[in-house]
Amino acid sequence: MVTKGFELRSAAAVTRFLAGVFVLLSLWGCVRQKPGEENIPLSRIRCWTNTNVLRDLAFSPDHTVWAVTPGGLITFSRRSGRFAVYTVASGLPSNNVLCVLYRASGILWLGTDQGAACFDGERFTCFGIAEGLLDQTVTALAEGADGTLYAGTERGIVRFTGSGWEPVNDSHEFARRPVRAISRDVDGSIWFVKEKALSHYMTNGTWEIYHKDILSTNTRVPPLFRYLLSIAVDSSGTTWVGSEHGVYGYDGRRWQWYFNRGRLGTGSGLRDNRIEAVAAGPGRQLFIAHGNSPGFGDGLGIAFSNGADQWTYLTTADGLPANSVYTLKFDAGHTLWAGTAQGLAAIDGRHIRAFRTPELIPDNHVIDMLSDQGGKRYALLASGLVECAGNAVQKLPALPARGAGAGIAVSGRVYVAGAEKGLYIFSSGSWEQERFFADRKIVHLEKEEPEQVLAVAADGIYRGSAGNWEKIKLDPMPADFVPLKIFPDRQGRFWVAGTSGRIQGGARSALAIVQGRRLVSVQVPSLSESYACLNRIIFDQNHEPYLASPAGLYQYGSSGWQQVALPLDRGSLSVAAWDAAGRLWIAGRDQGLFMRDNGIWRELLFAGKQSPGGITSIAFDHDTALWLGTTNQGLLRIELKTKTS
């Protein structure tokens, strides 16, 4: 028998060969343990997010505005003025919602970074790649004149079949490119905005393709017809396309091109070329929004024109909640609605009404979960701090720094490193800056029993507490060793993770174990070498050390590092933690939350779905509840079992 060029002369040889392959795959982390499953009902999941950034809007006949955000789906009743929030705890596949469509049938459809979902007013039904989507990221939705539902993904167009999705091939080389927007024409045809092309699906079933070729010889499109972002069709049938290079109008015969010419006076030209949103109003009115323009950190607001290259801007000075505007949509009553970085706005002529959307936590990027000896628990966010008490979350005063880095909670105080430099201490309801670190950048904070803080700064490692710090001498250290993180154990040793030397593509991870003046230098497993900033040391109940790395989990012993078999693909581990009962918890970078008890892995499903991706931290309320911090889904609390009296 010949297999891939190797001659295997006996069954024993085949067995030895397959066994060897299995061992190699096991060492590489490619063979995964298949876990059991435990389904967590939605009633046991709570989620806190930030819903201020509005990406897309839809309207239903009952005067409800539906808005999608990185923190979930929100509804706004124009009659009562009340908001409601839907998250993964409500059944969404992801809080990171990108687009929304209210269909004539009364069903709401959503596109997220974890698939599509429809909402019938009571529950969500989710669709992923297994149901036919070309990619799990759904970027745009539209309904054809015949009722066909179209979706744009990062790998092309699909349409809904009634039970799943099927690809739509628009017959050109950009067929599997990302779709940025979809719009229906007045004649019932459909326009699809691709990354670098515009596809027009005609009512006779044929396609028109508009794109700029490499040599710019295509005379059917204007110059710089690339990097397309948005689209709208006005009542006359003119198609307006927003791009990175301005806004284009096409009436079926010729193109118009409006772009920034450096004229910054009000009413005399576009102020920036990035057109993230386009809306066509009554008559010849055209509205555009720049979103986050590269040259303007706070955005530019909304510009409108009456058919000529003369633009008037509406900004916060006119009543907009924010100048960063991401979507513009007209409702059935011809009122223009804007989704901004700080809420919702209704625009009627020059009159603007702003509506503040719910803000449950400062942002959706949880850096770490912190707890002190007294049992107080906090979530450290990229832009602030919240206190977690029982089944509630309380926002605390704003961090007086440009973002947060590392954090630690000790003896009623919370120590937070500024993202740029400095150390800030939260105590008795207010923040103070620690003068000792005013000009130093701190890359890591760790707790040392009983009430000391270890701070790793660019110029060394410090031990102390508020107002009292000393530099730790860890000599002799390798000359090329740069410490990044420090982890103390119960034997008085310091496990110092950092970099040593150089390898292709960056610094090489290394580990130094220091006890007194004795140094033991330990190389991390080869697969973890490129993850210097992400590698961590965690300790089990017996205080045995483990290296948690995106490459996997490794236990350190007398024979060096031994890899722990995980139910995750190599390179996808995002966090690992031990609970008080000696159970190991791990989470995947993309999706998946697993727990190992008595050597058996179980995956925790959220109402039959995998947990949200990007989990950064895991914390425990004894054995009854689990807190999860994520990179873009906010903060979650999962009730593991009901308390008994």
What is the reported pLDDT for 297?
63
Closest-CA residue to 245 (of 269, 226, 265): 226
Q: What is the DSSP string of 80-117?
A: T--EEEE-GGGT-S-S-EEEEEE-TTS-EEEEETTEEE
- Residue 123: per-residue pLDDT: 93
Residue from 81, 97, 82 nearest 49 by CA: 97
Q: What's the confidence (pLDDT) of residue 583?
A: 94
Evaluate whether 37 touches 23 at the Cβ level (below 8 Å): no
Residue range(s) in the chain whose domain bears CATH number 2.130.10.10: 227-359
Cβ atoms of 301 and 326 closer than 8 Å: no
The proportion of the chain whose per-residue pLDDT surpasses 90, expressed as a percent, equals 63
Looking at per-residue pLDDT, the higher value among 491 and 70 belongs to: 70
- What pLDDT digit, counting tens, does each position of 217-246 carry? 777 788 888 899 999 999 999 999 999 999
Whole-number pLDDT of residue 574: 94
CA angle 431, 437, 442 (to 5 degrees): 95
DSSP 169-190: --SSTTTTSPEEEEEE-TTS-E
What is the band of 589 on the pLDDT scale with cuts at 50, 70, 90?
Answer: confident
Q: What is the pLDDT at residue 196? A: 84
pTM assigned to the model? 0.87
What are 471's two structure tokens? 């530099």
Residue 26: enclosing H or E segment and its boundaries? helix 11-27
Spatial distance between the Cα atoms of 49 and 628, rounded to a whole number of angstroms: 12
The residue with tokens 């210097």 is 532
Q: What is the pLDDT of residue 518?
A: 72
Cα–Cα distance between 287 and 599 in angstroms, integer? 60
Q: What share of the chain is helix, strand, coil (3-state, %, to 5)?
A: 5, 50, 45
CA–CA dist 362, 298 (Å, integer): 18
Q: What is the pLDDT of residue 211?
A: 86
- Report the alpha-carbon distance of residue 206 to residue 594 in Å, rounded: 49
Distance (Å, rounded) from C-alpha 501 to C-alpha 481? 7
Please state the separation of Cα 93 from the chain's center in Å.
13
Spatial distance between the Cα atoms of 51 and 95, rounded to a whole number of angstroms:
10
Q: Give the per-residue SS3 of 238-302.
A: CEEEEECCEEEEECCCCEEEECCCCCCCCCCCCCCCCCCEEEECCCCCEEEECCCCCCCCCCCCE
Mean pLDDT value across residues 528-534: 85
297 residue type, one letter: G
Please check the confidence at residue 51 and state whether its pLDDT lies above 50: yes
Strands 36-40 and 600-606: parallel
Tell which wins on pLDDT, 125 or 176.
125
Which candidate, 241, 307, 331, 234, places its Cα nearest to that of 278? 241
pLDDT tens, 74-123? 999 999 999 999 999 999 999 999 999 999 889 999 999 999 999 999 99
Q: Are 564 and 555 in contact (CB under 8 A)?
A: yes
Would you say 469 and 436 are in contact if contact means Cβ atoms under 8 Å apart?
A: yes
Question: What integer is the mean pLDDT of 302-327?
Answer: 92
| Domain spanning 227-359, CATH architecture | 7 Propeller (2.130)
Judged by phi (left if over 0) then psi (alpha if -120 to 50, else beta), residue 582 lies in left
**How much is the pLDDT for 578?**
95
Convert the pLDDT of each residue in 243-254 to its tens digit.
Answer: 999 999 999 889
| 15: pLDDT strictly greater than 70 | no
Q: Is the pLDDT of residue 266 over 60?
A: no
Higher pLDDT, 1 or 570: 570
The answer to whether residue 645 scores a pLDDT higher than 70 is no
Report CA-CA distances (Å) from 569 to 25, 509, 551, 589. 11, 21, 9, 10
Write down the pLDDT at residue 298: 73
Does the pLDDT at position 127 exceed 90?
A: yes
Instruction: With H, G, I as helix, E, B as strand and everything else as coil, classify residue 394.
Output: strand
- In the sheet that holds 190-194, the strands lie side by side as 179-184, 190-194, 197-201, 207-211
**pLDDT tens track for 471-511:** 988 766 677 788 899 999 988 888 988 887 754 455 678 88
> How far from chain centre, in Å, is Cα 641?
29
- pLDDT, tens only, 286-304: 999 999 876 656 789 999 9
Cα–Cα distance measured from residue 362 to residue 376, given in angstroms and rounded to the nearest whole number: 19
Distance of CA 141 to the CA centre of its chain: 20
The residue count for the chain: 645
CB proximity list for 225: less than 8 A, separation 6 or greater:
198, 210, 211, 212, 243, 245, 248
- Bridge partners of 493? none
**In angstroms, rounded to a whole number, what is the distance separating the alpha carbons of residues 408 and 424?**
11
Strand partners, 455: 445, 462
